[in-house]
Structures are given as C-alpha cells and as structure tokens.
Homo-oligomer: A and B are copies of this chain.
C-alpha cells in the first residue's frame, strides 16, 4: 500500500473496514519486526499476518496495512484477525483503536508518513540480499555536523565499508542516498537496510567498497508537483512541466545548499573519500529521487552517477523536452552520455499508473532524445521499501566502475576499488 503518497484509492480503503469472510487462521511465526518477546503479529507461509490485540474496553479495533481489516472480539476482550497474503518486504501498518490511528505496541517503530509507524517484515522466499549474513560488516555512523546554510547542527548517517578502519590509506567513492516524503535519515538504515545490502554485495564481489551518506532531506517545504495541468494540450503541457520543474527546484533549494555547500565538504574532510565527481553518486527514493534529479543534474561537476527510485525525472508527470528540461543539460545527448556515467530510474510494477506509466513515459522521452538511461522494474512491488531495497541492490553494482577513465590517481584507492571482495 502506498503510504508515501496517499491517494483517493487508499483513502477509500481506509474509510471502509474489510471484513473477514474466512474464520481467522493462526499459523505462522512472529514477524521479525516485532519487539523481542511478542508472539503477534505472526506471518504464515502464504504471507498472511495474524493479529491479536487485547482491548476489552474498545468498541472497534482495526489493522490498516494493504487495506483496513476489522478485527473480531472474543469473550475475553481479545481482538483477532488475519490479513490476506501480503506482498513480501517491509510494510508500514497501523492499529486503529476506536478510530485512533496508532502504532502497534508489539512492533518496532519506523519514521514514515511523519510519525513513528509500526512496520511488518514479510519474508521473501529464497531471498536474503537484505539479511544479516556471515560476511564482513561495515559500520553505520551517526555524524553530527554544523550546516552554515541552515545555521543548525544536523545529523546524517555514514556507512563505512568493512575494513575502512583496518586500511587507513584506502580512499572510497561516496553514494549520497535519500529517503522519501514523510521519512528521514533513519529510513535507509532501519527500513532500507542499506548497510546489509552493501555489506552483502561487497562480500559477493558485486559492488566496490563505498561510503554511503544518508542525510535528512526535510528542509524547506516540499510542495508536491502539480501534475494535473500536464495533461492539457502540448503548449500548456510544456508550461505546466516548466512550472513543475521550477516548483521542485524552489522546494529543494535549501537542501541543495546543504548538500553542495555543507554536506559534501564535511564528508570529504572527515572521511577518506575520493573527492571528485567520478567517485560521487546521488540517489534517492520518491521525493528523494526528485531531489536527486534536481540537485545532481544541476551539479554535474559534483556527481557522475544519478539514480531515482520511484521518483525522479520531472516529478512524476512532467513532460520531458531535451532543450528545456533540467536546464537543457541533456540537449546535447552525446556530451551528456559522455559526462554522466549512469542515469538510472526504477519503479515497482504495482505502484499504480501514476508512478509506473509516469516514470516510463519519462524514460521513453529521454531515450528518444538519445540519452542513455537505465530503467529497472521491481516485479510486483508497490511504492514501498522492497522496491527501494531491490533498486539499491541493482543500482549499487553499477557505481564507480569507470577505472579506465577515472580521474582518480590514488593507487590505494584503485587497489581498494578493484579488490571487490571483502574478506574479514
């Protein structure tokens, strides 16, 4: 279910409770996202989640997850119910106690939609790329830094790869990775498991050891792109797209200043980075993808790799015109293709037409203009974290693979980049 951009469809589910046709089943194992010691929610082999909420004084208890389910009260005042089969991966969910939406006390909590949501992890059979495995692990560091442009102390998280401390001369490329609307710098660590995904990729020799920096993009006011006008006749659509681009640029200006003037200099002076564009990537999900396209395409002197996961392009429904869009940076496709090592866009096939068709339309227009863009579709996933975990898992191996044309002349760095595998 789309938690990041609520839509009328979702709202209608939320308003009318879904009743169980079948008597609730109670098979399964406690969700790995439960706090220790909590038996419920349980997930069964088909991905159905069983809930059990003691609430003798409540008149109605519901669970909101892929839709809203009414639970059933027994004689002891315990409310139970089982969902339909859920898509694998991480889902935000809520309890509604007599209409009040709260986090399930049985669950860990995750900052999403601007509050500390409950979340449930539905296992994906045979898939372990985001699990803790018996491989060398990097660290996730909480870094406080002073932002002159925001005049405030800010927090970011910095993933350093295995052996970062043990190889004190190695230098590393950096991926700047952003969360979506309603989330913050914790998202990629707790919901996204970025450290485990990169640890596992490095261990398999599938991506080069890199630093990943995750900042808080909630600075300034994000106004969602107004896409309605984009469906008007061509002249109006162009004007609407220009308005969308201008709105995004203005929304993201304070964050752009933080990234370019404060964050990158802080990271480059604190960590052993290779401080040039050929060793710097930016990516983000949903709103973070839009921020990435706005900021990185404006600062190609700073970034050579650009990724949007379920977001990017010109918002979701702007019309791409190579001469106008992104300040005309793609007008000379050949020059752009030479300068930008990777332009990437991804989407879940179950995100709904707005995202799925919108982002594919952008991809088609960009390709038609002769610009190289990699496009990845996550099968069966919605505007949710499994789409973004998979996107990172596909995107990261493509980064910093430009040894032949690299401007990095540091032998230590080249050695580290080439090693690929990370033995403990």
Centre residue among A57, A60, A98, A134 by max chain B CB count within 10 A: A98
Q: Count of chain A residues with Cβ under 8 Å from any Cβ of B?
A: 49
Q: B114 near A35 (CB under 8 angstroms)?
A: yes
Q: Report B-chain residues with C-beta under 8 Å of the C-beta of A101.
A: 105
A99 interfacial contact with B, CB 8 Å: yes
Q: Does A248 contact B (CB under 8 A)?
A: no
Chain A residues numbered 98-116 whose CB sits less than 8 Å from any CB in chain B:
98-103, 105-109, 111, 114-116
- Interface residue A139 (Cβ < 8 Å from any Cβ of B): yes
A412 interfacial contact with B, CB 8 Å: no
Are A57 and B103 closer than 8 Å at their CB atoms?
no
Contact of A57 among B37, B59, B144, B165 (CB under 8 A): B59
| Cβ contact within 8 Å between B142 and A139 | yes
Most B CB atoms within 10 A — which of A36, A54, A107?
A36
Chain B residues with CB below 8 A from A61, complex form: 100
- Could you say which residues of chain B place their CB within 8 Å of the CB of A37? 114
- If A57-B99, A109-B103 touch, does A142 touch B144 (CB 8 Å cutoff)? no
In whole angstroms, what is the CA distance A234 to B106 when docked? Answer: 45
Task: Verify if A141 is at the interface (C-beta below 8 Å from B).
Answer: yes
A408 to chain B, nearest CB (A): 21
Q: Which of A65-82 contact B (CB under 8 A)?
A: none
Is A335 part of the contact surface with B, judged by Cβ < 8 Å? no
Contacting residues, chain B, for A353 (C-beta < 8 A): none
Task: Assess whether A402 is interfacial by the CB under 8 Å rule.
Answer: no
Query: With A142-B139, A146-B134 given, is the CB distance from A100 to B55 under 8 Å?
Result: yes
**Within 8 Å CB of A114, what residues of B?**
35-37
CA distance A108 to B111 in the complex (A): 9
Chain B residue contacts of A132, Cβ below 8 A: 144, 153
In the assembled complex, the CB of A309 is this many whole angstroms from the nearest CB of chain B, namely: 23
Chain B residues positioned under 8 Å from A102 (CB to CB): 95, 97, 102-103, 105
Q: A105-B116, A111-B35, A132-B153 are in contact. Are A53 and B141 (CB under 8 A)?
A: no
Rounded to whole angstroms, the CA-CA distance of A95 and B100 in the bound complex is: 11
- Interface set, chain A 1-54, CB cutoff 8 A to B: 35-37, 53-54
B100 touches A103 (CB 8 A): no
Q: Is A126 an interface residue (CB 8 A)?
A: no
User: Please, which residues of chain B bring their CB within 8 A of the CB of A146?
Assistant: 134
Contact with B along A77-99 (1 / 0, CB 8 A): 00000000000000000010111
Q: Could you mark each residue 141-178 of chain A with 1 if its beta carbon is under 8 Å from any beta carbon of chain B, else 0?
A: 11111100000010000100000010010000000000
* A208 → chain B closest CB, angstroms: 21
| Chain A contacts to B: CB under 8 angstroms | 35-37, 53-61, 95, 97-103, 105-109, 111, 114-116, 132, 134, 137, 139-146, 153, 158, 165, 168, 189, 195, 218, 270-271
With A57-B100, A58-B98 known, 16 other A-B pairs at CB within 8 A are: A37-B114, A55-B100, A57-B59, A57-B60, A97-B98, A98-B98, A102-B102, A103-B103, A105-B116, A107-B116, A137-B143, A137-B153, A139-B142, A139-B143, A141-B142, A165-B270
